[in-house]
């Protein structure tokens, strides 16, 4: 027997998808954690809609979308490399924790982006958010069995929370400068 072929990988992948769906229906769906995740998908956007500066909504939204794309990409890499996993998900056939990746984190970052327009306060606010998320939110998600660290430490998340926000803000400012010319 040689190396696995693409056909072999596809068969195992299909079997794994079937197993995940079966597990989801019997173990996760409609549990308290599932309802909590559903609320985390919806509620941050409701809060955001009431707080967002409507005069800057396009810019703030673009910041959030770009950040969400980066968050999803990083989460997929971390899951695939078995740095962490999610025992309970809103939809069990995707590797990421969608309520966090496309709702909670982007909304938190967009509000920081809106209220802290200058660099120093922006970085300070992101530092506070990263400490909160790394040392309070992540351990809470571990405790309620939504997040599991396999080859990761909470402190590894701190610089990532900050750097991704800095990267997207710098990129967006560059694009906005170019568009004004």
Ranges of each domain in the chain: 1-30, 32-180
Q: Which residue has the higher pLDDT, 120 or 2?
A: 120
Going by pLDDT thresholds of 50, 70 and 90, the confidence category of residue 152 is very high
| Other beta carbons less than 10 A from residue 93's beta carbon | 11
Residues contacting 126, CB < 8 A, separation 6+ = 109, 112, 161, 162, 165, 166
- As given in the structure block, the two tokens for residue 45 are 């956007």
pLDDT, tens only, 52-106: 999 999 999 999 999 999 999 999 999 989 999 999 988 877 767 889 999 999 9
Q: Which residue has the higher pLDDT, 3 or 114?
A: 114
pLDDT at 13: 84
Going by pLDDT thresholds of 50, 70 and 90, the confidence category of residue 23 is confident
pLDDT at 32: 94
| pLDDT for residue 123 is more than 70 | yes
Going by pLDDT thresholds of 50, 70 and 90, the confidence category of residue 142 is very high
Q: Give percent of the chain with pLDDT exceeding 70.
A: 99
Q: How far apart are CA 10 and CA 26, in angstroms?
A: 24
Residue 110 contacts residue 126 (beta carbons within 8 Å) = no
- Torsion on CA atoms 76, 172, 170, 67, rounded to nearest 10: -20
pLDDT at 1: 63
pLDDT, tens only, 32-42: 999 999 999 99
Closest CA to 107 of 174, 40, 172: 40
| Range 34-37 contact pairs with CB under 8 angstroms and sequence separation of 24 or more | 34/88, 34/90, 36/144, 36/146, 37/88, 37/89, 37/90, 37/97, 37/99, 37/146
Mean pLDDT confidence for 2-18:
89
- Torsion on CA atoms 67, 72, 75, 81, rounded to nearest 10: -130
Q: Which residue has the higher pLDDT, 3 or 168?
A: 168
Predicted model pTM: 0.89
| pLDDT for residue 119 is more than 70 | yes
pLDDT at 16: 85
| Vertex 135: Cα angle to 131 and 141 (nearest 5) | 125
- As given in the structure block, the two tokens for residue 105 are 């984190």
């Amino acid at each position: 027997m040689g190396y696995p072929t693409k056909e072999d990988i596809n068969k195992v992948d299909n079997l794994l998808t079937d197993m995940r769906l079966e597990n989801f229906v019997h173990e996760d769906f409609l549990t308290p954690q599932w309802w909590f995740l559903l609320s985390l998908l919806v509620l941050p956007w409701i809060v955001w809609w009431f707080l967002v500066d409507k005069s800057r909504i396009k810019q703030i939204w673009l910041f959030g979308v770009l950040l969400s794309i980066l968050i999803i990409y990083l989460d997929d890499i971390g899951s695939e490399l078995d740095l962490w996993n999610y025992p309970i998900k809103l939809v069990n056939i995707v590797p990421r924790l969608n309520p966090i990746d496309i709702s909670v984190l982007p909304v938190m970052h967009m509000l920081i982006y809106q209220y802290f327009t200058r660099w120093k306060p922006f970085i300070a606010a992101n530092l506070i958010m990263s400490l909160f998320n790394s040392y309070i939110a992540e351990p809470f998600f571990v405790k309620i069995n939504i997040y599991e660290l396999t080859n990761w430490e909470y402190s590894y998340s701190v610089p990532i929370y900050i750097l991704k926000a800095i990267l997207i803000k710098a990129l967006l400012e560059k694009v906005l400068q170019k568009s004004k010319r």
